[in-house]
Amino acid sequence: MMSVTLRSLGRLAIAAAISLCLGGAHAYAEDANPTTNVTIDNFTFAPAELTVKVGTTVTWTNHDDIPHTVVSAGKFRSKTLDTDNSFSFTFTAAGDYKYFCSLHPHMTGMIKVE
């Protein structure tokens, strides 16, 4: 009887470990500090519009051959981003955050935070 109980416990432990690997722990980690990426390339932000939850960190990465910035008036401002440089901002309040490149003002984007 003892071996059946230990065997059952072993199977339960394996099932729990598989469950964690397939999503349980990963989903919790995402909820704790979700991240989303925006690519800067060919004078555009991609995606140009995102909808995220409060607490999400968005990271912009410049893949263009020339510098860009990420600016939302009164909210956040990156330094000048050279090729492959990144800027991150964590959205702590709901709202619409319009942003642009101060070096190329025709480059615009929007983050909608729920």
Taking 80 as the threshold, does the pLDDT of residue 52 lie above it?
A: yes
Strands 49-52 and 35-41: unpaired
The string of pLDDT tens digits covering residues 53-63 is 999 999 999 99
What is this structure's pTM? 0.72
Which candidate, 71, 27, 19, places its Cα nearest to that of 45?
71
Helix (H/G/I), strand (E/B), else coil: 88 = strand
Angle, vertex CA 49, rays to CA 53 and CA 79, nearest 5: 90
Look at residue 30 in the predicted model and tell me its pLDDT.
43
Residue type at 64 in one-letter notation: D
Look at residue 31 in the predicted model and tell me its pLDDT.
52
